Amino acid sequence: MTVEPGVVVKFAGHFGLTVGYRATLRARGRETDNIVFTAMDTDEGWFGIRFVNSGADDDLKYCTVEYARKPYNAGSGYLDLLGGGILCCSSWEAEPSYGVPSNPTIDHCLIANNHALSGGGIFCMDESEAEITYNAIVDNSAFIDGGAIYVENSSPTITNNIIAHNSAMDSGGILTWYGTPSIINNTIVHNRPNGLYLGP
């Protein structure tokens, strides 16, 4: 699917956009003509963008991803709680393609005012090698950890981003858990309670 510059995509209720196996999302805005993914009702939110077994051909450039909400509910599936704005994962529910990592390029985007159980802005898991470059990742929150970005068992490249004013119980900025990300030349400031947690 291709989304043209200047398009505003509004989601009503807890629906989101899932990019699965053999599907491709190309949302390429311009510096003066962004693409916006947002909610009709910013209090209720929407379910964000989910890359599942989708490979490496997806890209978000000059996009805004905002007001996604993944509140904790006892009946929610595990993946429905993670990655408020963007989730990059490989899911056993998508056989026969389980094991295909999701490696989108997220470049020159604004990721703001999103919320999830973990990874309020972005969650990378299942060997994701996402390219996360030149973004502003601000004002996101997580109920538990990784207000801006959570990395689990993945090796994303996180370079030249502004990561600010995010919050969580643990690491408002970036949290890694069994991951080997490349974290280079980012501005990580004013996150609560801290900016960076590197786990095992």
If phi > 0 it is left, if psi is from -120 to 50 it is alpha, else beta; for residue 36 that is beta
Specify the pLDDT at position 186.
99
Q: Mean of the pLDDT values across residues 12-18?
A: 90
pTM for the whole structure: 0.94
Q: State residue 66 phi and psi, 5-degree precision.
A: -145, 155
Residue 76 vs residues 37, 71, 183: alpha-carbon distances, Å: 23, 9, 31
Task: Assign 94 to helix, strand or coil.
Answer: helix
Q: Mean of the pLDDT values across residues 171-193?
A: 97
Does residue 53 carry a pLDDT above 70?
A: yes
Cβ-contact 187, 161 below 8 angstroms? yes
Within a 10 A sphere around the Cβ of 40, how many other Cβ atoms? 12
Does residue 100 carry a pLDDT above 90?
A: no
Specify the pLDDT at position 117.
94
Neighbour-count burial for 167-197, b at 16+ CB within 10 Å, e otherwise: bbebbbbbbbbebebebeebebeebeeebbb
Cβ-contact 55, 91 below 8 angstroms? no
Specify the pLDDT at position 95.
47
Specify the pLDDT at position 71.
74
Does residue 200 carry a pLDDT above 60?
A: yes
- How far, in Å, CA of 34 to CA of 178, rounded? 34
Does residue 99 carry a pLDDT above 90?
A: no
For residue 53, the 8-state DSSP code is: S
Does residue 160 carry a pLDDT above 60?
A: yes
Question: Dihedral (C-alpha) 91, 53, 31, 84: value to the nearest 10 degrees?
Answer: 0
Q: Which of 40-54, 72-86, 183-197 is most confident? A: 183-197
Does residue 85 carry a pLDDT above 60?
A: yes
Specify the pLDDT at position 74.
46
| Distance, CA of 49 to chain centre | 7
For residue 21, the 8-state DSSP code is: T
Within a 10 A sphere around the Cβ of 36, how many other Cβ atoms? 17
| Distance, CA of 96 to chain centre | 24
Q: Which residue carries 């704005």 as its tokens?
A: 85
Does residue 75 carry a pLDDT above 70?
A: no
With cut-offs at 50, 70 and 90, classify the pLDDT of residue 80. Answer: confident
